[in-house]
Each structure stands twice: as structure tokens, then as C-alpha cells.
């Protein structure tokens, strides 16, 4: 992998990740852009104890542009985009309309391919490995920023999820705090560790799932399963079999196998609802240990956390979506219409 860092016309950083070491990236952003100004602010909810990002400048962000005006396609002639070069393998750049900025963290866009009509599932294994390497590199770089405590790599796919740009891409949020969902996991880790005399909760969960009927697919280094208490109609958790706290901890065996396992998982998601259905909308979310102090979680260290990816769709059946209504949105109590065992069975049925 070759990494080339440059700057866009408004000062934002852009990084090319190339498969070939001899690739030259010297194109200049020719757009007449002024420096970006954001109003991102983090406010703490005193009752729930969580944080809310107030980012009014995002109201003006690009919204469903026609394909020939996509800002994530490479620049072609006089059609200028966020990517100055006329081609690319993988590109990461600072979001022009970030939810987090400055002392409030950082937001980046990850373009998986220059092909506007592709998807992550259509990438080659070599391309998917390059995306993994880019995620890993960004996790490392962002973790060293003084304002960053947790790095979250994710992909929103599909208009039903709320995606406003059709080009295959994901995002990276670098938070200045430990996110509420991760804090819940850390508290459960601490409670379980104390109650069992030191047993790791992630290890216990993974051992139980490996012995149960909800395994979707399994390799030498990775295992994918529908969790016992799945929140979503079709939800799969992908774990490396060797516990590591973040993407940086993966060894070469796990890195090499990941593209094969993950691409198969995504392709199965697209086949869940049968032929003729539109692509399955999903969220794919990497969970990594925070880089900040864990003193508030008694006895828990970063190495106790288990890196994993959670993949889920809001489509519950053909033509119907799972909406977060009263119980889910009002009380955070999920009601799942699809038994996890049946979801796992279906995901096994649609294997390549």
C-alpha cells in the first residue's frame, strides 16, 4: 500500500491509498473554495449522561446530487470534485460538513472505489483489503490527536438508512469522548469480570455463540453470527477469533482472511429477500476500544475489549422496513419481529 497525503483548496486533508507503490498523486484541487467554517459543539445531557453534537452547518450539505455531479467521483476535465485526481483506489478526506470538528473531534469520508455504480460487496478481495488497511491507518493516526478518545469506522448503505450520496463510501468519526454504547459494553465487562473472578465477557459470549445454532459463516480467523439477543431483523456480528482491542491489533492471518469473509457476508445480505429486490440497506459498524483512560470502568483495560463489526439492516421483510417507534425510540427497548435463529438460518441458505 502506498499512502499520499495532500490538501484540498479549502485546507482539508485528503489521503490517497494506492495498491501500486509507483502511483504518483500530484493533482491539484482547482475549485475556488474558501476555508471551511464549522459550528460543531458537544453538549452533555445531564439526565442521560450522554453527549449530543450540535452542528447546524450540516443543513447545507450535498443532498442526492445527480450521478454526473457526484462529489465523490474522481475529477474529469472541467467537472471538479472532492477528489482532484482522475482516478483512485481508496481515498480518505476530511468531511466538508463534519458533525465533529476541532476540539470536538474529526469526521472523515472514506471512498471505497472510484466506480460510482459499485458497492462494497462488488469489490475484489484486493480492494477490500486496501480499505481495511486504510481503516487501520486512520485509526492509528486519529488516535494520536489530543481531542480524540474513540475512533469509529462505519458504512451507511442505502437511501432507507439516510444516505445522501450514492457513491460507495463510508465514514470515520473520531470522538472526543467514549460513546454511550461502548461505555455500556465496558460496564458489562467490569461487572462480569468482578462477578466471575476475572473471566472476560467477550470471550464468554463468543464461546457460547460458537457452540450454538446462530453461526452464519466461519473461517480460520473470523466468525460471523446472529447474536442471541439481536436488536434488528437481520443482524450479524463479525469477530476475530483472537481477541484484540482494535484494528491495529489484527495479525496478518486475520487481515488476509477478512476480505473473503466480509465480502461473502455482504453478498448474503443482498440475497436475503430474494431476486428482484433492491440492494439491502445496512449499517456496518466497527467497535473498537477507546484510546482514553478507562478508570471509571473498574478493573477493565483496553485489552479486555474485543474488536468486532456489527452489520444490520432495517429491512424486516420484502418491501417493509423496521421503524424505531415508541418502545425503541422512547425507551430504548427493541422489539424484534425476526427470531435470531431464523435470521441465521436464512443467511446460511443464501450462501454463494
C-alpha grid cell, residue 285: 459498524
Of the residues 37, 57, 144, 169, which is catalytic?
169
Q: Which residues are annotated as a binding site for Zn(2+)?
A: 70, 73, 116, 167
Helix (H, G, I), strand (E, B) or coil at 214: coil
CA distances from 114 to 82, 83, 85, 108, 161 (A): 12, 10, 10, 17, 22
C-alpha grid cell, residue 342: 431464523
**Cα–Cα distance for residue pair 345/318, rounded to 1 Å:** 17
Do 299 and 190 contact (CB within 8 A), yes or no?
yes
Q: Tell me whether residue 169 is one of the annotated catalytic residues.
A: yes
Q: Which residues are annotated as a binding site?
A: 70, 73, 116, 167
Do 89 and 115 contact (CB within 8 A), yes or no?
no
* Nearest residue to 145 via CA among 294, 291, 8: 291
Q: Helices 125-143 & 252-269, crossing angle to 10 degrees?
A: 120
* Nearest residue to 221 via CA among 205, 238, 235, 204: 238
Strand extents, DSSP E, 183-260: 215-218, 222-225, 234-240
Residues designated as active site: 169
Amino acid at each position: 500500500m502506498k499512502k499520499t497525503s495532500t490538501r484540498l483548496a479549502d485546507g482539508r486533508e485528503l489521503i490517497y491509498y494506492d495498491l501500486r507503490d509507483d502511483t504518483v498523486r500530484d493533482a491539484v484541487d482547482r475549485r475556488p473554495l474558501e476555508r471551511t467554517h464549522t459550528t460543531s459543539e458537544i453538549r452533555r445531557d445531564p439526565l442521560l449522561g450522554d453527549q449530543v453534537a450540535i452542528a447546524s452547518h450540516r443543513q447545507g450539505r450535498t443532498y442526492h446530487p445527480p450521478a454526473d455531479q457526484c462529489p465523490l467521483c474522481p475529477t474529469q476535465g472541467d467537472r471538479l470534485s472532492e477528489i482532484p485526481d482522475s482516478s483512485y483506489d481508496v481515498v480518505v478526506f476530511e468531511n466538508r460538513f463534519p458533525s465533529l470538528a476541532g476540539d470536538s473531534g474529526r469526521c472523515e469520508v472514506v471512498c471505497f472505489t472510484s466506480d460510482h455504480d459499485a458497492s462494497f460487496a462488488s469489490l475484489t478481495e484486493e480492494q477490500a483489503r486496501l480499505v481495511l488497511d486504510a481503516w487501520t491507518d486512520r485509526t492509528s493516526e486519529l488516535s494520536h490527536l489530543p481531542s480524540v478518545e474513540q475512533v469509529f469506522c462505519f458504512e451507511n448503505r442505502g437511501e432507507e438508512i439516510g444516505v445522501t450520496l450514492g457513491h460507495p463510501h463510508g465514514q470515520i468519526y473520531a470522538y472526543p469522548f467514549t460513546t454511550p454504547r461502548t461505555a455500556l459494553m465496558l460496564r458489562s465487562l467490569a461487572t462480569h469480570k468482578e462477578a466471575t473472578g476475572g473471566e472476560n465477557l467477550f470471550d464468554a459470549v463468543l464461546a457460547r455463540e460458537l457452540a450454538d445454532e446462530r453461526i452464519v459463516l466461519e473461517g480460520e480467523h473470523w466468525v460471523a453470527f446472529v447474536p442471541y439477543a439481536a436488536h434488528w431483523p437481520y443482524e450479524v456480528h463479525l469477530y476475530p477469533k483472537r481477541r484484540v482491542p482494535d484494528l491495529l491489533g489484527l495479525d496478518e492471518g486475520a487481515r488476509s482472511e477478512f476480505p473473503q469473509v466480509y465480502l461473502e457476508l455482504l453478498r448474503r445480505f443482498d440475497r436475503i429477500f430474494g431476486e428482484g429486490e433492491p440492494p439491502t440497506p445496512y449499517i456496518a459498524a466497527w467497535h473498537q476500544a477507546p484510546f482514553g483512560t478507562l478508570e471509571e470502568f473498574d478493573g477493565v483495560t483496553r485489552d479486555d475489549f474485543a474488536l468486532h463489526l456489527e452489520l444490520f439492516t432495517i429491512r424486516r421483510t420484502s418491501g417493509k422496513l423496521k421503524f424505531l417507534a415508541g418502545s425503541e425510540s422512547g425507551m430504548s427497548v427493541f422489539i424484534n419481529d425476526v427470531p435470531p435463529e431464523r435470521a441465521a438460518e436464512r443467511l446460511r441458505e443464501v450462501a454463494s
